[in-house]
Amino acid sequence: MCDRRAGTTMDSLDQLSSAALASKISGEISSVFSKPTAPHPPPLDVLVMELAAVAARKARVFLYGVGREGLMLRALCMRLTHLGLSAHLVFDMTTPPISSHDLLITSAGPGGFSTVDAICQVAKSHGARVLLLTAQPEIGICVRHATAVAYVPAKTMADKEDMDRAEGSISRQLLPMGSLYEGALFVLFEMVVYKLAEALGESPEAIRSRHTNLE
C-alpha cells in the first residue's frame, strides 16, 4: 500500500508540474496580446476585417508561410475552408491563379524571408491584396508589398537570445527561437475563426459539415 500511495503522489506531482509549465507557456503567449500595436490596429481586427471582405465579395484567399509559421497558416487555411471560404495554400497542385479580387495572407515574423517576399511581389503584381503578419512591421523587407499589416508583437528568430550576465552564456528559453511568435499565431488564428464564424453567421453544424470525410 505504501508503494501504491507513493506512486500516486509522484503521479500527482508530475501532473502538477506539467500543468504549471503549460500555464507558464500559455501566459507568455497570452501576454503578446496585451502589448500595444499602435500605430497598427490589433491583428485580430485586421484579419477579421480582411477575411469578412473576401467572403462578402465572394473572392478567394491564398495563404503562404515558411517553417513553423507555414504550419500555423496551413491550420488556418483548413478552418477558413470549414467556414465556407475559398481558401488555398500556395504551391498546392490544385491552387488556382490569384486575381485582383483575392487576398494573400502570409507571414514573416522576423521581417523578411526571400520566398515570402517573392510571393508577395507576384500577388501584388496581379492586383491582389496582401496581408502580412509580422513582428517587425517597420524594418522588414516584406512589408513594402503589404496592403494590410497584422503586427504581432512577439519574439522571433530576429531577436537575440537573453544572455546570462553571471556566466556570459545564453540562458535556456521557455519558448526558444521563434516559438513565442508561432504560438501566438496559432492562438490568433483560433480567435479569428471564432470571430469570423460569428460575423458570417456560420453555425457549428455548418462548419462541421464541410470537414472532409476522406479520413
Q: Residue 182: pLDDT above 80?
A: yes
pLDDT grade for 115, boundaries at 50, 70 and 90: very high
Amino acid at 18: S
Q: Residue 157: pLDDT above 70?
A: yes
By annotation, the residues acting in catalysis are: 182
pLDDT in tens, 184-194: 999 999 999 99
- The closest alpha carbon to 131, from 116, 113, 114, belongs to 116
- Quote the CA–CA distance of 171 and 185 in Å, as a whole number: 25
pLDDT in tens, 83-111: 999 999 999 999 999 999 999 999 998 88
Assign 2 to helix, strand or coil. Answer: helix
- Quote the CA–CA distance of 132 and 156 in Å, as a whole number: 15
- Quote the CA–CA distance of 167 and 11 in Å, as a whole number: 35
Q: What predicted TM-score, i.e. pTM, was given to this entire model?
A: 0.85
- Quote the CA–CA distance of 125 and 129 in Å, as a whole number: 10
For residue 110 the three cell numbers come to 522576423
* Helix and strand counts by DSSP (H, E) for the chain: 6, 7
List helix spans (H) across the chain. 2-32, 43-56, 67-82, 114-125, 179-200, 204-209
Q: Are the beta carbons of 119 and 64 closer than 8 angstroms?
A: yes
